[in-house]
Every structure is written in structure tokens, then in C-alpha cells.
Amino acid sequence: MPRPVLLLTRPRAASERSLRHFQAAGVTNVQPIIAPLFETQPIGALPEACGTVIFTSVNGVQAFTDLGGAAEGLAFTVGTATDDAARQAGFQTICADGDGNALVQTIDKHAPEGPITHLHGAHTTGDITGQLRDLGYNANSTAIYDQVAQPLSDEAQSALRGKAPVIVPLFSPRSARLFAIANKPGAPLYIGCMSFAVEHQLMGTPFKMCLIARHPTLSEMTNVVSDLVHAALSDEC
């Protein structure tokens, strides 16, 4: 019986981090394939005065650094991986450890004074800045990196045409949308989604099983991947 394929479609550095996390949690009886559906690149320039900063991805922190940003003051972050990256860049951080709504609630709880700037990618979901403005904050947003779509690798396409189960963790609506476009029906798919917003972008992609994380964190996605691996192995018996 062929081992299930674990297809990781985030940018390479993020996929490698995810794979290490999965393996440390015991997800080992799989054949990992890293095939980014997009890669990130910095764009534009940083605002002259950011004030308090919001980061909603590790990519945002990396782009901030690549564009020559100086980590000064406070950064609010959406999750632990982003928080770790922001602290390593030199920020004092407060982590919401949740989704965009949890992030807005966390910011409002601490009520920072002065301007607040959300530094994000060119493709976003939700409206953190709008929610903060509705609460009376001087909030703005700037796209500082783009997520440039990439074709699936030949290895990934071959796996998707094969007979072995393919487990696909999807962390963002853009990843799900690009995967739905790139995928051709073939291998049995076991899909894990970070949220219902991610699942919504699958646009009718046929799958054997789809699980949604209870909480939008890497730890919960690890639980999802573990459950999908178990299901795929059980179905093959």
C-alpha cells in the first residue's frame, strides 16, 4: 500500500516550518511534497510613520524587514508563528492567538494610542482596519508584499493524478482558491482547512474528506492533518 502524500502548498519556508511541526507531532507515515502555489515578494515602500503595527502573517514581518523597516515599539500579531517572527525582528508584541476578529478584540482591549498600521499582503480577507476605525481608532493599512501565483510542480501534479491518498492542508483562502484551480480530479483528496473561509474557496473541489480546524492555529491544523492521515490509512486497509 503506498504511503499517503502530504502536499504542502505554502511558500517554501512556511511549508518547511509546517512540515517540521507536523513531524514533531508524530505525522511521519507520509511522503511529503513541497509545491508552493505562490511565493511572496516585497512591494512598494513602508509608510513613513506606522505607529503601532499589526502583522497577520510571518510573510508580513519578513517583508517589513526586507524593505528596511526598523522594529520600534509595539506590534499586535494574529498567531504564535507571526508573533515569534515579530519578536525576533525586534518588536514588543501582543499576540491574539486567533483570527482577525480575535485580533481586533485584543487591540481594543489594550487600546493603543496614536496611529495603527496593518502591514499585509496584496491579497487579503476580512477588514481589520475597517473594524478598528468603527471602534474609533486611527487605523490604516498598507500592502507591503505580493503573493505571486506559481504552477504546481510536476511531482505534485503526478501525485494528484495517482492512486495514493493526498493530504492537503490549506492555510488561507488564497491557497484554497489556487489549489481548486490547479487540481485535476484523480487521487483521493483529504483536505484540511484553517477556517470556513478557506473551505469556501475550494469551489466544488471533489474530496474524500475535508476537516476544518477548531481554531486557526498551527497546532490545531496539526491535529487536523493527524486525523486526515489516520483516516487515509484506515480507508486504504
Task: Summarize pLDDT for 88-134 with one digit per residue, the tens.
Answer: 999 999 999 888 889 999 999 999 999 999 999 998 878 999 999 99
Helix (H, G, I), strand (E, B) or coil at 92: strand
pLDDT band (50, 70, 90) for residue 1: low
Asked: is 40-147 a CATH 1.10.1840.10 domain? The reply is no
Task: Give 20's contacts (C-beta < 8 A, 6+ positions apart).
Answer: none
> Residue 80 is which amino acid?
T
Residue 139: left if φ>0, alpha if ψ -120 to 50, beta else—which one? beta
78 touches 195 (CB < 8 A): no
27 touches 190 (CB < 8 A): no
29 touches 233 (CB < 8 A): yes
Alpha carbons 74 and 63: distance in angstroms, whole number: 17
Q: Is the pLDDT of residue 185 over 80?
A: no
Q: What is the mean pLDDT of the chain?
A: 92
Mean pLDDT for the stretch of residues 72-94 = 93
The structural architecture, per CATH, of the domain 5-37+152-236 is: 3-Layer(aba) Sandwich (3.40)
Looking at the chain, the domain(s) classified CATH 3.40.50.10090 span 5-37+152-236, 40-147
pLDDT at residue 124 in the model: 83
